[in-house]
Structure 1
Amino acid sequence: MLVAASRIFSTRTPLFKPSLVRTHLPSASGYRFTFRSMADSAAASASSFNKIQIQRDDTTFDAYVVGKEDAPGIVVLQEWWGVDYEIKNHAVKISQLNPGFKALIPDLYRGKVGLDVAEAQHLMDGLDWQGAVKDIRASVNWLKANGSKKVGVTGFCMGGALSIASAVLVPEVDAVAAFYGVPSSELADPAQAKAPVQAHFGELDSFVGFSDVTAAKALEEKLKASGIPYEVHIYPGSAHAFMNRSPEGVKRRKGMGMPDEDAAAVELAWSRFQSWMTRFLST
């Protein structure tokens, strides 16, 4: 399967075109490309993350683990910002869902975090996508070697697209739940998914071809062709990144022209996520 994967996408294949992103996000001109390390990012909560290192091929990357030791595992993939407060919030939330999960965040950016749109764009443009898929596989296998009998993958925006790609390219994945992101055809074809996929999108999402309603419906047709169990949910009145509900996350979304707030949609999405992962990761 991994041999086939090398034919599906090439190194550094973009998840979506930078020009397409900039059509819908504030102008990047005038920003400085300054980065801060994970250690300087705002703390997600009082919950304690265990920082580990995972080796794969000729590289080592940091990962952050929270949750019950022998619980089913879930790899949690970052947005284009990097491993910041919001993705840590999501991992803590996941670890606390019944019946309990062990959440692991791999640091795909190797310690860098974007502080504004231009930096996030710069970091995402520089990501080695093939390497990111290898990071995901190594993370899944780490969880399986450390107490988790079954492991799912979830992600948001960039991480959502990578989550769906993992259903195609990482044979050890047992279930996927992706939020507002679809991989490019060069990265992975969802029609070839091997693991069950649940996907969540906002009706007002304006990332054309990546996470808008048209992309969501196209994904649904691909998943239908795959023959695996799937669900595609579209949330009325919600825009991109609607799951980000921390005060900092809400402020950032409003600054990017996404003023919608719908706590009910967020809770519904988490409920569906919980049911999906419990269904496929329970032993």
Structure 2
Amino acid sequence: MALRGVGVAVKTLASRTFTHPRALSASSSSSSRCRFQIRSMAGSATSELKKIQIQRDDITFDAYVVGKEGAPGIVVLQEWWGVDYEVKNHALKISQMDPGFKALIPDLYRGKVGLDVAEAQHLMDGLDWQGAVKDIRASVSWLKANGSQKVGVTGFCMGGALSIASSVLIPEVDAVVAFYGVPSSELADPAQAKAPVQAHFGELDNFVGFSDVTAAKSLEERLKSSGIPYEVHIYPGNGHAFLNTSPEAVKRRKGMGLTDEDSAAVELAWSRFQSWMSRYLRA
């Protein structure tokens, strides 16, 4: 089964079978709906993030912002888990990068967070992808209306795919950095990208058609034909979500069969992120 708007297949990770967005069977999806609960997760970064509300069309949604007033803005997009501790950690890290960015996380799930694969799957199943793009555009507009002359978009996994889609669908975006995620052609064709795109993938990522090496190389070919500046980086020996390094995230990754830990690759990826965003958001 394919994920509408992203597109991924069932894959085996470390001798254990997992599915990624929209690839669960009907029976397992049904069971997740029966037991799913809305939960919140408070991480160490939570207290440093300011909760705001953003309006788009006739909808108001929550977002979290941190960073220097007047600094270039970066919209930070969640993984399929939701706005949890790790995406907040990422936003805080981005805000503290020299010489400073203003990071904003739109809550695409409207307060819901999945604590296991089945819950995350259920949340992804219910996501309105076109609505998510509208949320991202409204977030970019909010940052530009509140002191950020230029605004980039970054994201992880599901958010990575949406980041690339934003380079195609949101003219106001000035730069994109995507981590391990590629949108399906139904959502956005990277060959039509209008903002510079940098993308990062793990060599051992097994989410076929979404963030594996084949997907990364296909993305590179599409970006090449777009004519915009781009970089696609593949990290040897690393799997999916390799940037998630907090103790909680490492435990969660290991529970999914993702046992790689590579601090040098993490440092390199963040360094490339910083260089890319600084180049295109401070010019």
Please say whether Structure 1 and Structure 2 have the same fold, judged by a TM-score greater than 0.5.
Answer: yes
The corresponding residue for 1:90 is: 90
The corresponding residue for 2:138 is: 138
Q: Is the 8 A contact 1:175 1:196 kept in 2?
A: yes
The corresponding residue for 2:76 is: 76
The corresponding residue for 2:6 is: 15
Is residue 234 of structure 1 aligned with residue 234 of structure 2?
yes
Q: Does the C-alpha gap of structure 1 residues 46 and 162 become closer, same or farther in structure 2, counting only changes over 3 Å?
A: closer
What's the offset of the Cα at 1:14? 3.4
Other structure's SS at 2:108 match = coil
What's the offset of the Cα at 1:263? 0.3
Q: How does 1:111-150 map to 2 (within 5 A)?
A: 111-150=111-150
The corresponding residue for 1:5 is: none
Tell me the distance in 1 between the aligned counterparts of 2:189 and 2:275. 25
Q: How many residues align?
A: 267
What's the offset of the Cα at 1:45? 2.8
Tell me the distance in 2 between the aligned counterparts of 1:14 and 1:169. 13
Tell me the distance in 1 between the aligned counterparts of 2:237 and 2:122. 30
Any stretches of 5+ residues in structure 1 without a counterpart?
1-11
Q: Which one-letter code corresponds to 1:217 in the other structure?
A: K
Counterpart pick for 2:36 among 33, 37, 48: 33
Q: Is the 8 A contact 1:182 1:215 kept in 2?
A: yes
Q: Which one-letter code corresponds to 2:140 in the other structure?
A: V
| Cα shift readout 1:156-212 (whole Å, capped 9, x = no counterpart) | 000000000000000000000000000000000000000000000000000000000
| Cα shift readout 1:12-60 (whole Å, capped 9, x = no counterpart) | 933124xx24765547746531221xxx312233751111000001111
Q: Does the C-alpha gap of structure 1 residues 157 and 213 become closer, same or farther in structure 2, counting only changes over 3 Å?
A: same
Q: Is the 8 A contact 2:12 2:206 kept in 1?
A: no
Tell me the distance in 1 between the aligned counterparts of 2:117 and 2:262. 23
TM-score (norm 2): 0.91
Other structure's SS at 1:112 match = coil
TM-score (norm 1): 0.91
Q: Is the 8 A contact 1:190 1:226 kept in 2?
A: yes
Tell me the distance in 1 between the aligned counterparts of 2:160 and 2:10. 16
Q: Is the 8 A contact 1:14 1:125 kept in 2?
A: no
CA RMSD of aligned residues (A): 1.5
Tell me the distance in 2 between the aligned counterparts of 1:149 and 1:21. 42
Percent identity at matched positions? Answer: 80
Q: Is the 8 A contact 1:54 1:62 kept in 2?
A: yes
Any stretches of 5+ residues in structure 2 without a counterpart?
none
Q: How does 1:42-53 map to 2 (within 5 A)?
A: 42-45=42-45, 48-53=48-53
